[in-house]
Structure 1
Amino acid sequence: MAKITMHHFGDPGPKKYFWGLTRTFAKHYSLRGPARTLVREVMMGTWGNPPSFDTYFVRACRSLAVSKSERSAFNTVGPRSLTMLADFYESNKEEIDGLSQRFTTLDFISGEATSLALNPAIIVDMFGLQRGFDADKGQQE
């Protein structure tokens, strides 16, 4: 799973694997709604992928969608939304990879920076979190 990166999300095999793994966790532990997001958060924390698909991330993805069909793809984690994420990554690869290399992980015990670059999926997730949060904040003002 750790070797599956953002550009693999458009490939049938890894996409099917990731989608199936998410569904298996959710079914095994009888997870619904926010608990499914937690599964993806744990997967991202463990393997560095996929993005969390939390409320803010989904809101950001929908705001970037051009059509109603694209917006509806983010109603759930599935083949269409993963393909669109792969396309987003490929369209912004240079910037995402640059940020990925610029920022590293932190050692859990010491809090010091390590030499491990952040996974591009984490960069995309942080972008989605911030964009979705900003959109939500703008609606509340």
Structure 2
Amino acid sequence: MRSTYTATPADIEPRWYVVDAEGMVLGRLASEVAKILRGKHKPIFTPHMDTGDHVIVINASKVRVTGRKAEQKQYFRHTGYMGHERFTPFATMIAKHPERVIEKAVFGMLPKTTLARTQIRRKLRVFPGTEHPHAAQQPTALTFNGEAK
């Protein structure tokens, strides 16, 4: 009888990738980044282990949305007081904090577990421009199918 393969910490070798978000659709970018963060692109994927890779997203301020989301999409947060809901329009969020737009989109596509929260905190880095301080890690440029570059 064949047993199910389970990755061990010795099997895991995290790699670094850099993704240029310029002109990419937000949701499609977020789903691909979430897949890489979890490690689902690897044959050693194990759901309860952190087999994912590090992802650096540059040009976050140049990501695009389709349809009327630029006018209609709003980000919700709650202050903790009754009735104190705060809604931030997409245009305001992309102008002030473009990195949060991608972080929230990727977080929404990860499972709501402590492992996923650890993966997004430790392995996702988003920058609004083209500069990033992770050149020493020698990240590999990553492109996704179906996206015009």
Decide: shared fold, TM above 0.5.
no
When Rg is computed on C-alpha atoms for both structures, the one with the higher figure is 2
The structure with more helix, counted as a fraction of residues: 1
The structure with more strand, counted as a fraction of residues: 2
TM-score by length of 1: 0.27
